Amino acid sequence: MSKLLVTLRRSDDRDAVRDSGMEILAEYPDSLLVSGTGRQALDLAGRGVETAPLPEQPVQTAGATFAFAAALDAQEAVTLEPEPGRTAYYLVKLIGPPTAAWLSELTDAGAEIHGSLSGFTLLVGVLPERVGAVRALSRVEEVTPYRPAMKVSPKLQPARRREQGADQLAAVDAADFEDDGLQMIEVAVFPGEDTAALAERLRAAGGTVLTVLPKSLVASVPRAVIAALADVEGIQSIGPYAFSQSSNDRAATVMGVPVDHVFAGLTLAGAGQIVAIADSGLDNGDPETIHPDVRGRIAGLTSWPTRKVLAPFTNDPPGHDDGPADIESGHGTHVAGSVLGSGDAARDAEAGPVPTGIAPEAQVFFQAISQRIRWKSRAELAAAGLQPFTAPWPPPESGLYGIPGDIGALFAEAYAAGARVHTNSWGASLAGEYGQNARSVDEFTWNHPDMLVLFAAGNDGEDTDADGRIDADSMGSPGTAKNCLTVGATENDRPSGSDPAPGMDRDWSDWNSYPKLGAAGHVSDEPDGMAAFSSRGPTDDLRIKPDVVAPGTNVLSMLSSVYDGDGEPLWGRLPEGHPLRDRYCWSGGTSMATPLVAGAAALVRQHLAALGHVEDGRRPSSALLKALLVNGAVAIPGQYPGEVPEGPNPVSGFGRIDVARTVGAAPVHRTRFADAPTEAVATGEIRRYRIEAADPDLPLKITLVWTDAPSLEGLGGLVNELYLQLETPSGEVVNWDANPATRSTNNVQQITVASPEDGVYTVRVRGVSVTQHSPGAAPTGDLRQDFALAASNAMAEGVEDGAIAAMTPAD
C-alpha cells in the first residue's frame, strides 16, 4: 500500500477517489490524503485526478539523517529508559501533513511540540508515562526516543557521515572525541531546561562558558566532554561555534541602476527609507563632521561595547567601548558608502569617478560592533584562575567583539529607530550550520514581518582539491538563516587597464587558494562569473544559499578619514596623486556585495511605498521585498565550464540582482505581486492566482517567498511548508522542483516558463504542512502561513496596467 496526496480540482474528484476503493486517511480544504494499491492509483490517474506520491522520507536532526525505521531498530538494540516524572524527548511520526486539530490532539495527550522535522515527524517533550497515550492517537504512526547520537553535529565528528543507520544511532561513539584539545561548541536546550545548571556542569568538567542564554550557551570545552554531554536529557543539539568576522560606480551599472536613478520615468534613490548597518564603525563617528557622502542623513549612530562575558579575559574595564569611529579597518565605512553614499566628496573635488551607493537619498542607522581589546596574557589568565578559551592565544586585538550574545537585540534597536532594511557584512565560518545566530534572525523576522535582514554569504570559497572548481558547503552563519536575504559575490566590471587601476589588479590563479583557477582570469573582468572566494551552499538542511549575488570585487566606495590600520585600507587606495585618494578606496568580498543589495532593497521599498503598499508592522513584508529582488535577478552563465549550474543553485542562488527588472522597468515589464495577510494558507489549502504572459516572446517568471518560523538550532529546515505550482493553459502542472507531497526544503521557490503559451496560467500556492500560525497572517482560528508572490512579464485580471501592481487570488 502507498500514500497519495490528491488535489481536488473538480467537484467530482472526491467521488472518483471513493469509487477507486482507496482509503481516505485525511481530508484537507483542497486535497485528500489517501492510501491504496498501485492499480488503484492508476485508476485515479485514468479518471484525470491529480495525484502526487507520498513516499517515506528520511528524518533529519541536528546530528543525523536516517530512516525512522532505523531509529526504531536503534531503540531495540540499545533501549533508552527515561527518568519517570521528568520530561523526556521523542520523535513522533505522523501519517501525513498535520492539521491544527491533529496538533491539538497531541497537546491534549500531554505532548509539547518543539519542532517539525522532515517526514512529517515532530520532536516533542512528554512525560514518559504519557507516551502510550501519544502513541495511541489515530494520526500517529510511531514514537521513538530522541537519542544522543541525533544531537551531535557531524562537523564535530569528521569521521562520521550525516547519513546514519541503526548501529550509529544506537549510541555516540566516545572514540570520536578522544583527541586532545579544546572545542568551541554551541549547545541548545529545549524550552524550560536550565542553561545555568548546564553551564556549571561544563565549568566543572574543565570548560569555559562564554555565553548563557535562556535556550543556548557557548563554551570552550575539552573534546572528551562532548560524548557525555549528549546523554543529558534536556539538550537539543551540540554544534561547532566560531566568532563572527567581517566577511560603487561600476557595480551599480552591473546591477541595472541608471546613473540618474530614473527607472522608466520613476526616480528611485531611497528617499524616505532608513537602512540599518551593523559593522565596524562609520568614518570619524561624528554625525556633524562625518564623510560628506553620508553627512546629513544619519538617522542614528550607536556603539556596542565589548560583550560582558569577554571582560574577565581582558585588561579593559567592564563595558569597554572604543566608540563608533572606524579606525582599525575602514570596513563599515566602505559598506555604508555602497548602500547609500552620495558621491558628494567626489563632486566637491570636481574629480571622478563618482562612487555613489545604490540608494543615495536613504538615511542610515549605524551600529558600530567592532572593539579593540587588550587581552590578558597566558600568565595573567592563570593568575586570575582562567584558561584560554581558544588557540592560539590571544585572539586578534580588533574584532567584532560588540556583537551581542543574542543578535536579535541589534535588529530590535534598529527597528525601533524606523529601519526596515538591516544589512550585515559579517558572519562565522560554520560551513552550512544553522546555529543560534541564524535562529535569532529567523525569530526576529518571524515576529517583525516587515523587516528585511541581509547577510553576507561569507568568503570561504576554496578549491582544496585543486580540481579547478570551488568546493561546495562553505556557507557562513547567520547567512544560513531561512528568512534573511543571503548575498554572494560575482566579479565586478573593473578589468586590468581600467582607469583608475583597480586596487586588486591580479588573476585568481595568483592566489594560493586557487592555483588551478586560471580559466577565471582577472578578479574583476567578468560580472557573469563568480568571485572565487564567495561561499557556496547548500546549507546543511539542503536549502539553496546564497539567495542572490551582486558585484563583490574591486568595488570603489568610501574611505574612513580616520583609518589608522596597518598597511593599505582593505583592497587599497586610489593611485598616488589621485584627487580622491583620501576619500575612497577599493575593497572586495561578499561584504561588499551585500550592501549593494541592501541599497536595492531600499529602492524597491520606496517604490512600494509610493504605490501605497505600506502599513507599519506588516507591509511591504520582507517576504515581498525578497520575492521581488529574487524574481528580478538574472541568471549568470559563469565564466568557465562547470562554474555555475543551470537554474536556481547553491553557487549563484537565483541570480544577480537587477533593479530595473525588479521594479518592472524594461525589458521585462509588468510585475504583479501578492502580499496580503488574508491570503495565508493552512495545511492542505491552495491559493490560486490567474495571470497571462504580457509578452509571449519573453519568459514568464513566478517567485514564492514566505517568512518561516524559527527552526531548532543545529537543524534548520522548514517549520511551515508551502509549495509553488503552475497550471498551464493546456492543463499541464509545473512543479517548483520534484513533488508537492514530499518535503520542500526552500522557502524561496521559483518557476520560469521560457516560452509562454497564449491563455491563462493558474499560479498555485499550496499549504503542504503548516504547524505554526504566522504573525503576518490574519487570525482565522486555524494555523496559517502568509506569503508573497512576484510574477514578471505578467498580466492579471482586474489589475490596472502598470510597471508593478498588486493582484488578488482567483478564489
331: annotated active-site residue = yes
Distance CA 460, CA 468 (A): 16
Q: Please state the three-class secondary structure of 448-484 as a single string.
A: CCCCEEEEECCCCCCCCCCCCCCCCCCCCECCCCCCC
279 near 332, Cβ under 8 Å?
Answer: yes
760 near 693, Cβ under 8 Å?
Answer: no
CA angle, residues 385, 388, 394, in degrees to nearest 5: 125
Distance CA 160, CA 150 (A): 12
Spot the catalytic one: 291, 320, 331, 448.
Answer: 331
3-state secondary structure of 57: coil
Question: How many other CB atoms sit within 10 Å of the CB of residue 191?
Answer: 11
Omega cis (within 30) before 449: no
Which residue in 248, 263, 243 sits closest to 307, CA to CA?
Answer: 243
Distance CA 73, CA 71 (A): 5
487 near 546, Cβ under 8 Å?
Answer: yes
CA–CA distances in Å: residue 92 to residues 124, 131, 140, 629, 710: 7, 10, 7, 38, 20
Residue where the block lists cell 528580478: 632
3-state secondary structure of 551: strand
Spot the catalytic one: 30, 43, 249, 279.
Answer: 279
57 Cβ neighbours under 8 A, 6+ residues apart:
118, 119, 120, 742, 743
CA–CA distances in Å: residue 258 to residues 251, 274, 345, 362, 665: 11, 21, 20, 17, 11
Pairing of strands 421-424, 452-456: parallel
Distance CA 543, CA 422 (A): 22
Q: Please state the three-class secondary structure of 480-504 as a single string.
A: CCCCCEEEEEECCCCCCCCCCCCCC
Distance CA 136, CA 101 (A): 16
Which residue in 226, 191, 187, 186 sits closest to 206, CA to CA?
Answer: 226
Omega cis (within 30) before 158: no
138: annotated active-site residue = no
CA–CA distances in Å: residue 137 to residues 59, 103, 140: 21, 11, 5
405 near 213, Cβ under 8 Å?
Answer: yes
3-state secondary structure of 670: coil
Q: Identify the burial level of 20 via C-beta atoms within 10 angstroms of its C-beta, where 0-12 means exposed, 13-18 middle and 19 or more buried.
A: buried
Question: How many other CB atoms sit within 10 Å of the CB of residue 491?
Answer: 30
Spot the catalytic one: 118, 220, 429, 591.
Answer: 591
- DSSP secondary-structure letter at 25? E
257 near 358, Cβ under 8 Å?
Answer: yes
CA–CA distances in Å: residue 478 to residues 232, 431, 437, 455: 27, 11, 5, 7
Q: Identify the burial level of 372 via C-beta atoms within 10 angstroms of its C-beta, where 0-12 means exposed, 13-18 middle and 19 or more buried.
A: middle
279: annotated active-site residue = yes
Distance CA 598, CA 604 (A): 10
Q: Is the dihedral of CA 15, 18, 21, 23 positive or negative?
A: positive
Distance CA 601, CA 589 (A): 19
Q: Where does 348-475 show beta strands of DSSP type E?
A: 363-368, 371-372, 398-399, 421-424, 426-427, 452-456
Q: List residues with catalytic annotation.
A: 279, 331, 591
